[in-house]
Amino acid sequence: AQSVTQPDIHITVSEGASLELRCNYSYGATPYLFWYVQSPGQGLQLLLKYFSGDTLVQGIKGFEAEFKRSQSSFNLRKPSVHWSDAAEYFCAVGSSYGNKLVFGAGTILRVKS
């Protein structure tokens, strides 16, 4: 069965600083990987996804993520954080034949000015 670990519950960065949110997954075959963002009182919005091909994927709002099979990781990055990026971020794993996505516990991002 798939599982996802997001080791950091909270992260605080200064506005304009770079950001990296960690995600590790457990899955025996090639995973389908996703990052979602949830603003307070809102549903989850897809930032980016990885299915195959180039291991560096670009998403919306200036985010990118890199799939590293050897480390079972799919970390999310942004070179310069804006105050509006403060939200909760969820990593999720699926598969080519599975019926569901499994989500990590989320990382809360705080941005200080």
When the beta carbons of 15 and 108 are compared against other proteins, the nearer one is 108
Minimum CB separation of residue 19 from other proteins in Å reads: 19
**Which residue do the tokens 């549903």 mark?**
43
Rank residues 27 and 111 by Cβ distance to other proteins and give the closer one. Answer: 27
Which CB atom, from 81 or from 87, has the smaller least distance to other proteins? 87
DSSP string over 49-96: EE-SS-SEEE-GGG-EEEEEGGGTEEEEEESS--GGG-EEEEEEEE-S
* Interface residues toward other proteins, by CB under 8 A: 32, 34, 36, 38, 41-46, 49, 51, 88, 90, 94-103, 105-106
Q: Shortest Cβ distance from residue 79 to other proteins (Å)?
A: 24
For the chain, the first-to-last Cα distance in angstroms comes to 41
